[in-house]
Every structure is written in structure tokens, then in C-alpha cells.
Amino acid sequence: MVKKIFVLFSGLKMTLTAGVFLVASLILLLTDTAFPIDPAWVTVVICGFPLLYLAITRIIHNKGMSKISSALLISIAMFACIASSFMPDAHENMFAAGEVAFIMAIGAILEEKTVERAKKGIKQLINLAPEQGRRIADGKEEMVSIEHVVKGDILRVLPGEAIPVDGEILSGNTSVDQSIITGESLPVDKTIGDSVFCGTINRFGSVEIKVTKVGEDSSLQKLIRLVQDAENNKAPMQRIVDKWASWLVPIALAIAVVTYLLTDITRAVTILVVFCPCALALATPTSIMAAIGQAAKHGVIIKSGEALERMGKVDCIAFDKTGTLTHGNLAVSDVVAFDPAIPDDDMLMLAASTEAHSEHPLGKAIAAYAKERGVIIQTTDDFKMIPGKGISGVVEGKQILCGNSTYLEENNVSLDDSVTASLERFCNQGKATILVSGDGKCIGIVALSDTLRSIAANMVRELRNTNTDVVLLTGDHARTAEYFAKQVGISSVHAELLPAGKVERIQELQKQGRNICMIGDGVNDAPALKMANVGVAMGSMGSDIAIEAADIALMGDDIAKIPYLKRLSNATVKLIKFNISMSMCINFVAIVLSILALLNPITGALVHNVGSVLVVLNAALLYDRKYI
């Protein structure tokens, strides 16, 4: 019952009603009109009850110094104003009691609205989770609750509908709006074999999907949990401020008592009103929530306020290469024929026809590239594969070998200087190579390379503009790492590192006093993500282990979000420090003015709440500010 009254009185409608009665009290005060009961009593009851409720519940449930809260100090100030209002020529103190309670209620509503706005992204995520799906069973379609959908079920998703589960497309082609999960602004084309995420929107074609993840395992639910965890974790600054607030309350009481004994009760009451550390207590949580809320809008999930604060102190960012600076998928980059009688496309046809039977990723990449080029794959006879070396087969009557130099030499295929020079050139460029021979003669080479993200170089430049150093930590061959690092403008490269080696390099940098952020996407990056001051996992939900190990998750493959994250973190830390400094200065000045009788309880309440309102408004501006 008491809690229901608290909720009722804390609402906007009741607060506005209290404000009407407070205005009536002010009119009576200004016109010096006598009235049997001061209307401010209504304001005190409506706005004062929630304060008193919070003060008492915190005394009962909190531990140690946290029992002493700002609500307790304001409640004491309110009762002091009421008590002093019965003294001669102090009737305005009743208005002051109502004003203190009313302004605190308005401040609480502003804080709640700011936090709600910051949580808007998570609410949208929760609302996006579909409740039903079209299950296909025995050739029939039926609408079922998502609770009854299990892994392996077949669901049909029509154009315009939200995809109800994580799954793999079995039939149909479409484009999917994945912005809520990955942050991508444009719909992504999807076809058979592609993965789709729960909560994303099927824009065009009808598709049938096989359920791969349901319930709490789905991408959307993971995303929701990450954001909810962030809301429950306090930043170090917030914990420090909470302790300060607990100590400031008894200090305020002591100063008020001394002032009362040396001067009068009005000054003592004013000190109680202005000393409340509300703005100080609001400085960190409102800024953190606003920053986390803004980041969620752009597909960046910050797990805790502490991670955001640490990111603001990062001065060196370490990147993994594969899947981070690059797309992580090998593709054919060069096709070179050595025999003038055999054009490049003919050589590619011979290689692709043979590799079409291979299960090796390089072979599949060559076959796929040939199909994209419109090269017709021919029948291959007598196919053989030697693991770790290469393959062979007969295409159009020619004995074709595809593999490394050792494999060709073992089969009596000689490599002249032009072949060796090409191998060396492609190796220096960090590319994988497949040599192709026909009837005992090396006829060409196919080079494959991981493709660099087009925005990688610009991203590195932007990070340098924020005075942040960039290093590359990769398990790749040194020459490959150097080649890609040069492409994006990274000068500090550490290659051929096992997971433990990445951890050691991060520890070495930390011993030099550096604050390190590690960016990675795979299981092998998890130890480094944990060791770094801040770990950022990227990729379309990435590796589950990497996501769990990281402090921050990028829900898409857009590494352009990293400079944005750095700018947002820097701005948040600066804003928190500014808000704390501003609130402390306002409190100090207000106390001095109260002791000098330049403020009374009425004006003191206004001055005190200026700090709280400014802190909340600053946080609201942070939520809408542009950092992209």
C-alpha cells in the first residue's frame, strides 16, 4: 500500500498538481494574504512523501554509510523548514518546504526521463522479439508461439515480417534489414545457406529457414542481455561519488548545527537545503546511461560503465588482422598464365575444373571465382588429392596438377626463374599461391588474398587524430602482416603470435604504462581481449567466446565504429568530470552564501537544484550529440 502511494505521488500528474498548490502558496506569500491552511502543505504531502519513503527504505535496507542518503538530508531540510515556519515572521519557510520537495520531485522526473531515453534502444530490442512464427510441418503452415519452436524446425517468413529466430535459409532469396543487430544501414541480400538473426526484418522475398537458435540463445536475446548487464554495472567514478555522497550528508548536518548555534535556524535550514549532493550523485550514472544508450543506437554494445570509462583512458589500440582489418575470407586476387599459348581464362578454367572437386578452402575460392567470371567448369577425371600438397586430375585430356612448389617438383615439373619471381612477389604481398601445371609444364599461378576492409586505412587515421597509437597483433606470417599493416598505415607490427603471444605483447605494453584496447573477433583472441584494459569483440555476433570475453561488442563488421567509440568514451569521461566539478563548486558557493545569509531556504532550494538540472540536461545532450 505504501509503495503504491509512493509510485502514485512520484508520477508526473501528481507532481504537476503539487506545483499548482505551490504557485498558490507563492501568490499568497507575495500578496501578504492570510489563509487558514497554506496550500504548500499539499505540495509537501505529495512531493515530500516519496522523499521520506526513499530515506526510510535506504536506512532499513542499505549497509554502512550508504544508509545516509541525499533523500534523508532533503527530508531533514524539509522538516526543518516546516518546524521553523511556525516561528514569528518565518511563514515563508512553509513555502520553502514545499519548494524543496517539489524541485526534488521535478529533478527525479527529469532523471527518470533521461534514463528512459537512454534505455530506448533496449526497449526497442525487447519489442522487436516476435511472439509467433509460421511453422511448416508435413507440408502445412501453422502459426505457433515462439515458445513452442525448437531447433531444427522449418519456419516461413513473409516480406515485411520480423524473423522470429536465428536460422539458416533453406529456400528463397531476400534482403534483410539487420540494423538492429549489426548496425548496417542498408538491407543485406540473403540467399540459400545464409544466416539470419532473430528480430531482423525480412524486406522483400518469402523465405523458409531452418531454426538454429531459439530463446535465450538467439542473437537478439544475447544483445538484450549485454545491454541489461551494462545497466547493472557501475563505473569506478560512480562508486567513488556514491561514497562521497554518504560522507557529505553527515558533514552537512554538522555544519548546519554549528551554524544554528552561532547564528540562527534560518541559515542552518538553508545549509541543509543547498548541501544535498544530488547533482554529485547524478553526475556519473546519467552520463553513463546516456552514452550506453547512444552507443546501442549505432550497434555498439557497452557492457558496463566501467568499460566505457576505461575506454576513455585508452591510448593504444591493438588490432587482430584476420576478420578485423580484413574480411577474413580468401578470394582470388591474381591469375597469371606463363604459357603464351594459354590465355589467363583458359588456365583458370583448367585450375577451377580440377579444384571444383576439392574440399580445401583455397580450391573452393578458385572454383567460385571462375564461376563469377563466367568460366565454364569442365568435367574432371581421375581426381586425386594429396593432403598438404595439392591435387591432380585430367581435364580435356590434359594432366593437371594444382598445388605448392614442392608438389610440382615431386612430380617432375620444373620451375623457371619467372615462376620463382612470381611466387616471391605474391609472397611479399601476403598472398597464398596455387601453382598450376599441364602435361608436366608449369602453365600458371593463381594468387589468393584476404581482402582488406576499404575503410581500414581511414579508420586508423581517425584514431591517430584522437592521439591514439595503433599496433597490429596477428598470428599471420611476418611478410603478410607487414604487407597489410603498410596498406592501412600501421607501423608497429607483431606477427606469428599464438594466443599466449598476444597476451604477452599486451602485458609488455601495459608495463610501459599504456592503456590498451584489443580489437578481435575469434576464439583465439579471447585471452588477449581479457588481458587488455578494454576488449572489443567484432563481427556479426562474432565468436561467442570472444563476445563473452570482451567488454564492448560491435554488432556488425563496421570497424569505422571504433573511432566513434573512442570519441564517445572521451566525451563521456570529460562530461562526468565536468559535472562533478560543477556540482561541487555550486555546493561550496551556496554554503558560503547561506552562512552569510545571502540565501534563504527558498532561494537556496533554487540554487541547489540548478546543479541537478544542469547535470541531467548535460547527459541528455550527450545522448543526442553526433560522434559518428
Residues annotated as catalytic (active site), given as ranges: 320
**Residue 162 carries which DSSP code?**
B
Q: Is residue 176 helix, strand or coil?
A: strand
Q: Is residue 194 helix, strand or coil?
A: coil
Which residue is associated with the grid cell 590434359?
Answer: 398
Going from the C-alpha of 102 to that of each of 106, 107, 288, 608, the distances in angstroms are: 6, 9, 26, 13
> C-alpha angle 37/38/42, rounded to 5°?
100
**Residue 210 carries which DSSP code?**
E
Torsion of CA 338, 339, 340, 346, to 10 degrees: -90
Q: Are 307 and 565 in contact (CB under 8 A)?
A: no
Q: Cα-flanking dihedrals φ and ψ of residue 571, to 5°? A: -65, -40
Distant-in-sequence contacts of 425-431, Cβ < 8 A, 24+ apart? 426/334, 427/479, 428/479, 428/483, 429/483, 430/476, 430/477, 430/479, 430/480, 430/481, 430/482, 430/483, 430/484, 431/333, 431/334, 431/480
Q: Report the alpha-carbon distance of residue 510 to residue 189 in Å, rounded.
A: 43
Torsion of CA 101, 102, 105, 111, to 10 degrees: -120
Q: Cell numbers of 503, please?
A: 597476451
Q: Report the alpha-carbon distance of residue 385 to residue 391 in Å, rounded.
A: 4
Q: Report the alpha-carbon distance of residue 299 to residue 554 in Å, rounded.
A: 6
Residue type, 190: K
Q: Are 237 and 287 in contact (CB under 8 A)?
A: no
Q: Report the alpha-carbon distance of residue 49 to residue 6 in Å, rounded.
A: 7
Let me know if 513 is exposed, middle or buried by CB neighbors in 10 A (0-12, 13-18, 19+).
exposed
Task: Report the chain's C-alpha Rg in angstroms.
Answer: 33
Contacts of 521 (CB under 8 A, 6+ apart): 320, 323, 324, 328, 537, 538, 539, 542, 543, 546
Q: Are 225 and 265 in contact (CB under 8 A)?
A: no
Q: Of 231, 20, 212, which is closest to residue 120 (Cα–Cα)?
A: 231
Q: Are 520 and 539 in contact (CB under 8 A)?
A: no
Residue type, 459: M
Q: Cα-flanking dihedrals φ and ψ of residue 176, to 5°? A: -120, 130
Question: Up-side HSE of residue 602: CA atoms within 13 Å toward CB?
Answer: 13
Q: Report the alpha-carbon distance of residue 265 to residue 453 in Å, rounded.
A: 69
